[in-house]
Each structure stands twice: as structure tokens, then as C-alpha cells.
Structure 1
Amino acid sequence: MGGKWKLPIINSICNGNRRFKEIERSIPGITTRMLSRELKEMVANKVLERTVISSSTVIIEYSPTDYCHSFGGIILQMIKWGKEHRQKIKNHNEE
């Protein structure tokens, strides 16, 4: 799960953005090429599932797998650590 873009991509998808352009629009600064590369890698690693929906035009949607949900607790711990770290730095700078 290394890299700059994986967590923002997962966050976007878990917040309801399932199609490529929706995901791309929800992440400022990510390029089309980078998003494509990251999605392919995350599908290959079973973090995301890619579904092709047949209709008059091909629609592709991405969704988190159970494996992806399994490290939700780790992400929450990282957020908690970040908040605590930010508070320690703020307290230190006020001294």
C-alpha cells in the first residue's frame, strides 16, 4: 500500500466514486496515467475489484474487496497517530 495515491484512491472509492472519471475528479493532482497505473496494480493485488458492465457503452466500475476492508483498522490507527502527532507538535511549538 505504498505510494502517494493508493489511500486517496481507496478513500474515493469507499466514498462512492466507482467509475474512473469520478475517482479522477475526486483526487486533485492525480494524472490519468497515474490513476490508471494505480488502479491496475490494486486490482492485481486484490485490493480492488474491477467490474465491466455491459450496455451500449462499456462501463467499468471499481469496488473495494474484503481484503481492502481488512486493513481499515490500520488506516484508522494511522489517522489517530497523525492527530496525536500533530497535537504534540502544536504543544511543543507553544512552549
Structure 2
Amino acid sequence: MSGCPVEATLSVMGGKWKAVILWRLVKGTKRFNELERSISQITRKMLTEQLRELERDNLIIRNVYPEVPPKVEYSLSDYGRTFIPVLQSMAQWGLVHLERTAGR
């Protein structure tokens, strides 16, 4: 890494789905199936991979409850919550972009 702060952010958040997953977790804890349903085009395999990477980077917490079938929940970690202002900025920009490009 070159020491570029944008590059550092993208090294953790790169890819199409990580920011979307974190955005879904801003409003609270979600189970795997809830996340899967809320992100219509993500595959189960991709969701699993992205969740593992986010957990590895300490942005989310994975809680497994000893039940049959197992209950697994995901939530933002304290460190992950520090990314909320970035997500909010992305959402604001996205709304403006959607309005500008509507009807193209």
C-alpha cells in the first residue's frame, strides 16, 4: 500500500457488496437470511465471503447461538460504527445521483 488514505479505505471496503452489507447493519443486528433477502442480487456464497472478510477486518461481529438449527446474527462492531458517517455520505451522494440520472 502506498500510504494513500483512499487506497487504505478501498483495501478494506473494496468490492460491490461490503458497503451495502454495512449499510444494512446500520439499523441494527440482522440474521444471515435477513441480509440475503435485503440484498436482492447477492449470491449466498458472495454474502458469506464478504461477511467473513468484514469480520476479519473487525468491522462486524458474528454471534452464533447454540441452537438447532444454529442461529447466527451479525452486527456492526464499535470499529464498524466509525464507518457510518462515510456510509451516510455515500447514501446522500447516491440519492442525488439517482435523481440526476432518473429518466435517462
1 CA distance for matches of 2:65 and 2:34? Answer: 16
- Flag the structure with larger Rg: 1
Aligned twin of 2:82 = 70
**Could you say if the C-alpha distance between residues 13 and 71 of structure 1 is closer, same or farther in structure 2, counting changes exceeding 3 Å?**
closer
Q: Which residue of structure 2 lines up, in the alignment, with residue 23 of structure 1?
A: 35
Deviation per CA, 1:53-82: give whole Å up to 9, x if none.
122331111110011111212222333444
> Counterpart of 2:75 in 1: which secondary structure?
strand
C-alpha change, 1:26 and 1:17, in structure 2 (3 Å) is farther
Q: Does 1:53 align with 2:60?
A: no
Structure possessing the higher relative contact order (Cα contacts under 8 Å, 6 or more residues apart): 2
Report how many residues are paired: 89
Distance verdict in 2 for CA 1:55–1:81, change over 3 Å: closer
Identity %: 37
Pair 1:34 & 2:46 matched: yes
Summarize the Cα distance change of 1:52–1:86 in structure 2 as closer, same or farther, 3 Å threshold: closer
Q: Which residue identity lines up with residue 43 of structure 2 in the other structure? A: T
Give the letter aligned to residue 71 of structure 1. Answer: F
Work out whether residues 26 and 84 of structure 2, in 8 Å CA contact, stay in contact via their aligned partners in 1. Answer: no
Q: CA deviation digits over 1:28-75, x for unaligned, max 9?
A: 100000000000000000000011112233111111001111121222
C-alpha separation between the residues in 2 aligned to 1:85 and 1:23?
25
